[in-house]
Amino acid sequence: MTQLFSVKVLAVVAKIPKGETLAYREVALRAGRPGAYRAVGTVLSTNYDPVIPCHRVVRSDGELGNYNRGPKIKERLLKEEGAL
């Protein structure tokens, strides 16, 4: 995984509007590496910048997926934003 890919992932995630979500696969596609959806999760797991709404990235099957601040916080944030 390159630094450039990480920057692209964070840029894509930063643009997800409040109340909406994107799947890890879609983030990878928009970042230019369609098959790198697991790498997207790795990038997001190390991000603690509150400007980057990592909680808005979910699994393709509708499950929430992981979140570096914990799954309960991710669920709460998405509910507050109307995404759940």
Where in the sequence numbering do the catalytic residues fall?
Answer: 54
Report how far residue 33's alpha carbon sits from residue 4's, in angstroms, rounded to the nearest whole number.
Answer: 11
Number of helical (H) and strand (E) elements in the chain, helices listed first? 4, 2
Strands 22-23 and 57-58: parallel
Residue type, 10: L
